[in-house]
Structure 1
Amino acid sequence: MTKDLTLPALYMGLLAAFVGYSASFAIVLAGLSAMGATDTQAATGLFFATIGMGICSIWLPAVTRIPAAVAWSTPGAAFLAASVMLPGGMAEAVGALILCAVLICLTGFIPVLGRAVASIPKPIANGLLAGVLFKLCLAPALALGTIPALVLPVLVAWLIGLTWNRLAAMPFAVVAFLVVLFFSVTTTDGAPNDGLQWLPQFTAIFPIFTLQAFISVSIPLYLVTMAGQNIPGFAVLELNNYPVDRQPLLRKTGLVSLAIAPFGAVPVNMSAITAAMMAGEDAGHDPKTRYWAAIVSGIVYTLIAFAAGLITSLAGLAPAGLITAVAGLALMPALVSSISAAFVDKDQLEAPALTFLIAASGMVLFEVGGAFWGVLVGLAVWQAKVRFNRKVTNS
């Protein structure tokens, strides 16, 4: 196995891990904070989410011999960040995370569930994803209006990285964020660095299970994880001519998600962006050796996990709005892509539009959030138009 390790695979694995983590850790922290997590609980959730994708990124490629890249659910974390805090706070959110992981596990064991998710019209699925991302993507503009001196350097760095290489945009923005943080945090007498520590102080979170949380959080979180991450992740591998047995991969990522959920970690899933990096020729001329790129990324993720306490502490020093602005920048490409895909069918514009608007509104009906109602209304309108068009065609 080690004889398959090549220099291109090593390099691409390191790069993918750096890009994947730097582009989305702020989103995970924003999601946990929105759910009511304390700084210690957020650090714990970040640690276990990173460990989870590290373990899967080593385990899956080693077993399958394909570059089966794994990441945490970035759209899922964005959904949490844009959601209204549950009445039970973080304890109820943990219960919802556990139930979401159960749904992913069941999808791995019951293929019909996967087919049911895949049968949701892509415009509606993308409308849901766009609605989930929209509120957080407003954060850079809102922060620019309140803390322009702090946000502007981050925006400029992001733009410079974007014009050079799309994958460099967020690493550049994160570096600028750290520079801004260094100059904006005053160090008087006992410098704030005294409280920084690498590992979080792990705290137990006893879950609370409610029907409201299951409908409002677990189901939408499951849908955006499947539609926004797992399905595109499988597609990337298949486009690069790798054989993909979806059910075992869903079972493994589902079981790991279930193991880390009690600690406040978002689910882990197949990755599309880092998979595209590691499944192509940049990871080696021989497709049979590229799985090592994913393994290397998993090793890096596992090591980075032990800096969760430090990263959370540094993020906690950031002025209000700055960390969510960074998270919003990271989601811009996904928002543009999902909006574009939501309105490709000119005969079916109303259904994805309603899904997007209801999901983005933040509305709550019968104590159930807008993401659930957006999908429900979107599907109803979609089916009504399909039946109407059939009648017109047959008449």
Structure 2
Amino acid sequence: MLKDLSPQSFFMGVLTAFVGFASSFAVVLQGLKGVGATDYQAASGLMALSVSMGVCAIVLSAWTRLPISIAWSTPGAALLVSAGTVEGGFPAAVGAFLVCGVLIVIAGLFRPLGRAVAAIPAPLANAMLAGVILGLCFAPFKAIAFDAWLGLPILIAWAVVATVKRLYAVPAALVAFVAVMIFGVDLPDGAMASWTAGLAPPLALVLPVFTLPALVSIALPLFIVTMASQNIPGIAVLKVHDYDPQPGPLFAVTGFFSLLSAPFGGHAVNLAAITAAMCAGEDAHPDPARRYWAAIIGGAGYIVLGLLAGAVTAFVSLAPPVLIQAVAGLALIGAFSGSAVAAFREPETREAAAVTFLITASGVSFAGISGAFWGLVAGGLMMGLQRVVTSR
């Protein structure tokens, strides 16, 4: 395996961990607090999720030799914010997290679901990916509008290096981001003390309590959102990049690692979509067979960030969120252009792909499920309708 490791895979793996952690950790903290966690329990949950998804990414990528990126359930965390504290408090929420993990394992072992995911048409999968990525691809230009002195150095570093060596353009943007943070952002007094205080990993074991209200309002919706908004699009992203994994075992393993993180406050881990596109794209390595190292390095980065959750959270929280999103957007421009071209290449599926893309990119959600899932559903219905009309 070591002969497959390359500098570009290493840089993309580091960027994947940074972007995956920094772009949504605040949502996770807010969600856990929303269901009754104390500040320390929320920090423990954040650490448990980061370490679990890091180990899961390493295990799955090394086992399958595929770039399988893992993330925490960001839509699930957003769901927790609206769920609120249930009867039994945070221990009841932890019990619901455990039930959700069991349901994900069962879904992974249920073969019809795997076959259904594998049957997603390639144009719709590409359109869904383009729609998921579109919002972040706007971020570099929004960062310039927010503050040109902060946003321009990141974009210029990416553009200049891309003209010389495209594979190193994104790492250059990451270096520029760090430089902007050091020299362009006024750090408040006591910032160094907060980083030092966060070096000790938080760890809080919560004994679960199982209540019917928690199962109905947290476990079931969390399971549906995680599967529909994360796991299924995650498989679709891998298919877009010409990988053909077996969905069932991957789902089951993510469910198992969700079970491991739940007693420490983690709500769910799952297959990633956006960071999966980073690890599975050409920027990770020209040879698709060697890109799995990007996911492995990303997993190692998640473990480190999880153990340093307090200090990392203190540093990243000082940056305007749009700057973090700008780095992610630059990393995904290539993936967006490739998926958009593939989605609209065939005239007979162009309308269905457009429906999928537009619904996904709109960011709308129904019944707590994100537009990525509904985009695939609507595109599939459109494609089916076209086939029925054509066959007559």
- Shorter-chain TM band: 0.7 to 0.9
Kindly indicate whether the alpha-carbon contact (under 8 Å) linking 1:139 and 1:325 is maintained by their aligned counterparts in 2.
yes
- Equivalent-residue separation in structure 1 for 2:199 and 2:120 (angstroms): 43
Matched, 1:333 2:334: yes
Q: Name the counterpart of 2:229.
A: 220
Q: Aligned to 1:349, what secondary structure does the other structure show?
A: helix
Mapping of residues 16-165 of structure 1, within 5 Å: 16-34=9-27, 36-37=30-31, 47-56=47-56, 58-60=58-60, 64=63, 67-73=65-71, 87-88=82-83, 105-165=105-165
- Equivalent-residue separation in structure 2 for 1:221 and 1:291 (angstroms): 19
- Equivalent pairs counted in the alignment come to 364
Q: How many percent identity over aligned positions?
A: 34
Q: Aligned to 2:9, what secondary structure does the other structure show?
A: helix
Q: Aligned to 1:209, what secondary structure does the other structure show?
A: helix
Kindly indicate whether the alpha-carbon contact (under 8 Å) linking 2:61 and 2:67 is maintained by their aligned counterparts in 1.
yes
Q: Aligned to 1:174, what secondary structure does the other structure show?
A: helix
Kindly indicate whether the alpha-carbon contact (under 8 Å) linking 1:23 and 1:330 is maintained by their aligned counterparts in 2.
no
Q: Name the counterpart of 2:36.
A: none
- Equivalent-residue separation in structure 1 for 2:294 and 2:347 (angstroms): 40
Q: For residues 88-126 of structure 1, what are the alpha-carbon distances to aligned partners after superposition, in whole Å with 9 as ceiling and x for unaligned?
A: 279899999878765653454223211101112122222
- Equivalent-residue separation in structure 2 for 1:191 and 1:265 (angstroms): 33
Q: Aligned to 2:218, what secondary structure does the other structure show?
A: coil
- CA 1:147/1:102 → structure 2, altered by over 3 Å: closer, same or farther? farther
Kindly indicate whether the alpha-carbon contact (under 8 Å) linking 1:51 and 1:302 is maintained by their aligned counterparts in 2.
yes
- Equivalent-residue separation in structure 1 for 2:14 and 2:320 (angstroms): 21
Q: Aligned to 1:387, what secondary structure does the other structure show?
A: helix
- CA 1:267/1:176 → structure 2, altered by over 3 Å: closer, same or farther? same
- Equivalent-residue separation in structure 2 for 1:192 and 1:144 (angstroms): 26
Kindly indicate whether the alpha-carbon contact (under 8 Å) linking 2:230 and 2:272 is maintained by their aligned counterparts in 1.
no
Q: Structure 2 residue aligned with 1:263, among 266, 269, 272?
A: 266
Per the normalisation by structure 1, the TM-score is 0.73
- CA 1:115/1:326 → structure 2, altered by over 3 Å: closer, same or farther? same
- Equivalent-residue separation in structure 2 for 1:327 and 1:80 (angstroms): 21
- CA 1:142/1:274 → structure 2, altered by over 3 Å: closer, same or farther? closer
How far has the Cα of 1:368 moved from its partner? 5.0
Kindly indicate whether the alpha-carbon contact (under 8 Å) linking 1:100 and 1:219 is maintained by their aligned counterparts in 2.
no
Please provide the CA RMSD for this pair: 4.3
- Equivalent-residue separation in structure 2 for 1:134 and 1:99 (angstroms): 34
Q: Name the counterpart of 2:372.
A: 371
Q: Name the counterpart of 1:241.
A: none
Q: For residues 51-72 of structure 1, what are the alpha-carbon distances to aligned partners after superposition, in whole Å with 9 as ceiling and x for unaligned?
A: 234424554577x5x6355422
Q: For residues 203-254 of structure 1, what are the alpha-carbon distances to aligned partners after superposition, in whole Å with 9 as ceiling and x for unaligned?
A: 679875166555555412222122114x467x54x7xxxxx77754553344
- Equivalent-residue separation in structure 2 for 1:328 and 1:175 (angstroms): 15
- Equivalent-residue separation in structure 1 for 2:172 and 2:136 (angstroms): 20
- CA 1:365/1:16 → structure 2, altered by over 3 Å: closer, same or farther? closer
Question: Which deviates more from structure 2 when the two are superposed, residues 111-120 or residues 360-369?
Answer: 360-369
| Structure 1 counterpart of 2:83, one-letter code | G
- Equivalent-residue separation in structure 1 for 2:191 and 2:168 (angstroms): 30
Question: Which deviates more from structure 2 when the two are superposed, residues 310-319 or residues 331-340?
Answer: 331-340
Per the normalisation by structure 2, the TM-score is 0.73
Question: Which deviates more from structure 2 when the two are superposed, residues 31-40 or residues 146-155?
Answer: 31-40
- Equivalent-residue separation in structure 2 for 1:101 and 1:192 (angstroms): 37
Question: Which deviates more from structure 2 when the two are superposed, residues 290-299 or residues 258-267?
Answer: 290-299
Kindly indicate whether the alpha-carbon contact (under 8 Å) linking 1:351 and 1:378 is maintained by their aligned counterparts in 2.
yes
- CA 1:353/1:99 → structure 2, altered by over 3 Å: closer, same or farther? farther
- Equivalent-residue separation in structure 1 for 2:266 and 2:251 (angstroms): 21
| Structure 1 counterpart of 2:163, one-letter code | T
Structure 2 residue runs without a partner (length 5+): 34-38, 209-213
Kindly indicate whether the alpha-carbon contact (under 8 Å) linking 1:44 and 1:264 is maintained by their aligned counterparts in 2.
no
Q: For residues 155-175 of structure 1, what are the alpha-carbon distances to aligned partners after superposition, in whole Å with 9 as ceiling and x for unaligned?
A: 112223433444322221111
Kindly indicate whether the alpha-carbon contact (under 8 Å) linking 1:68 and 1:291 is maintained by their aligned counterparts in 2.
yes
Question: Which deviates more from structure 2 when the two are superposed, residues 40-49 or residues 358-367?
Answer: 40-49
Q: Name the counterpart of 1:171.
A: 171
Question: Which deviates more from structure 2 when the two are superposed, residues 91-100 or residues 333-342?
Answer: 91-100
Q: Name the counterpart of 1:209.
A: 218
- Equivalent-residue separation in structure 2 for 1:369 and 1:297 (angstroms): 25
Mapping of residues 226-375 of structure 1, within 5 Å: 226-229=235-238, 231=239, 235-236=242-243, 248=249, 250-260=251-261, 262-264=265-267, 266-268=269-271, 274=279, 302-303=303-304, 305-365=306-366, 369-375=370-376
